[in-house]
Amino acid sequence: MEGATAGGTGVSALLKRFDYQKYSSFIALIVLFAISAALSPFFLRPGNLVNILTQVSYTAMIGLGQAFVIITAGIDLSVGSLVAFNSTVGLILLNAVMSGNGGEGLALVVGIGATLAIGFVSGLFNGFLVTRGKLAPFIVTLGTMAVFRSLALFIGDAGEITSQSQTFAAIGLANILIFPVPVWVMLLLAAVMDIILNRTRYGRYLSAVGSNSRVALFAAINVNRVKLVAYTITGVIVSISAILLATRFNAVSTSNTGVGYELDSIAAVIIGGTPITGGRGSIWGTIVGAIVLGIINNMLNLLSVSPYLQGTVKGLVIIGAVYIQRQRA
């Protein structure tokens, strides 16, 4: 009896020490996975699971950059419009080189290079307005969200742009082992971002700035530089996602591409355990948050629930995640 009591006490002590908040997103994923498997026999099919990972990979990548911005107590609402703007310019330049007999290899270099460059400059622009312009991140990125979408519509004549390169399309359809390229890129970016956040001086500065920028400034941390780099990194990652998304469809719709990505990326970050107030965050939690949203959408489709209700469910999940974080604060 004494041994049983001691064992029970040990388990209780272990449960008390367990950091539920840190692993809450992973616990939610396991529970949701089990519920989904019970509700639908199609859920556990390998093709369906791979499809979920592929669909969430684009917003999950954006969420990784969004996590850095949110950790600084900022936000980026322009990511969805930037996906459309970047990929529109990239495909136009790719097709222009192809039409000018520049060769497919050169066309790919120009198109992809231009997309990455625009992402870098756009992220830098957002960061500059926030840091040097002393403007609220919400206002800045709300404005650039409208700017980037408008430019995409103008440049692409509010239509759809299709790539003339067969190699470009093959990138999005290629598989490495059993997973498509975007899934591997998502995992690689997550690994790199996790190292930056948890193993580098910049990562420590990032959390310090989000916790209290004034104290960080007194600690000789260049607050503006930290924020500027965070927004720039987000712009580059958005470009990577834009390239992979364009290769998947071999086309870009200037009016529809990237719509809602700002909500999905922010939701993934918050569900993943990063508080909207900043100061700390989880990279792998963000990936899990994106997968949770993907499973929810997938189950609603498998259960023949109206797609118009998916936004309602997503909104309720975000509200619930924020509420739980506030109760634990």
CATH number of 207's domain: 1.10.3470
Which pLDDT does position 221 carry in this prediction? 93
**Does residue 28 sit within a domain?**
no
**Spatial contact of 57 and 185, defined as CB atoms under 8 Å apart:** yes
Quote the pLDDT of residue 160: 93
Instruction: Kindly state whether residue 224 falls inside one of the protein's structural domains.
Output: yes
Give mean pLDDT, residues 29-34: 87
The answer to whether residue 55 sits within a structural domain is yes
- For residues 106 and 100, is the Cβ–Cβ distance under 8 A? no
Total domain count for the chain?
1
Under 8 Å between Cβ of 115 and 141: no
| Residue 6 is assigned to a structural domain of this protein | no
Highest mean pLDDT, choosing among 31-35, 142-146, 176-180: 142-146
> DSSP labels for 41-69?
TTTT-HHHHHHHHHHHHHHHHHHHHHHHH
Task: Read off φ and ψ for residue 196, nearest 5 degrees.
Answer: -60, -45
Q: What is the pLDDT of residues 66-76, one digit of tens each?
A: 999 999 999 99
Q: Model confidence over 183-223: pLDDT tens digits?
A: 999 999 999 999 999 999 999 999 999 999 999 999 999 99
pLDDT for the residue numbered 82: 96
Average pLDDT over residues 167-174: 85
Please check the confidence at residue 315 and state whether its pLDDT lies above 70: yes
Lowest pLDDT segment from 23-37, 86-100, 142-156, 201-215:
23-37
Contacts 24+ apart (CB under 8 A), 221-228: 223/131, 224/131, 224/132, 225/131, 226/72, 226/202, 227/72, 227/74, 227/127, 227/130, 227/131, 228/124, 228/127, 228/128, 228/130, 228/131
Residues spanned by the domain of 239: 46-328
pLDDT-derived band at 19 (thresholds 50, 70, 90) equals low
Lowest mean pLDDT: which of 82-96, 168-182, 218-232?
Answer: 168-182
Q: Return the bridge partners of 251, or none.
A: 162
Confidence of residue 273 (pLDDT cuts 50, 70, 90): confident
pLDDT for 325: 67
Mean pLDDT score across all residues of the chain: 89
The pLDDT assigned to 10 comes to: 56
Burial 85-118 (b: 16+ CB within 10 A, else e): bbbbbbbebbbebbeeeeeeeebbebbbebbbeb
Q: What is the pLDDT of residue 247?
A: 92
Q: What is the pLDDT of residue 7?
A: 53
Q: How confident is the model at residue 93 (pLDDT cuts 50, 70, 90)?
A: very high
Query: Cα(219)–Cα(205) distance, rounded to whole angstroms?
Result: 10
- Residue bearing the bigger pLDDT, 60 or 15: 60
Task: State the CB neighbour count (10 A cutoff) for residue 72.
Answer: 29
Mutual angle of helices 283-302 and 46-71, in 10-degree steps: 140
Q: Judge whether residue 150 has pLDDT over 90.
A: yes
In the predicted structure, residue 15 carries a pLDDT above the cut 70: no
Would you say residue 16 lies in a domain? no
Q: Is 173 inside any structural domain?
A: yes
Q: What is the pLDDT of residue 209?
A: 95
Flag whether pLDDT at 18 surpasses 90.
Answer: no
Q: How close are the terminal C-alpha atoms of the chain, in Å?
A: 39
Q: Do 81 and 263 contact (CB within 8 A), yes or no?
A: no
Does residue 32 lie in a domain region? no
- pTM of the predicted structure, to 2 decimals: 0.90
Residue 313 belongs to some domain of the structure: yes
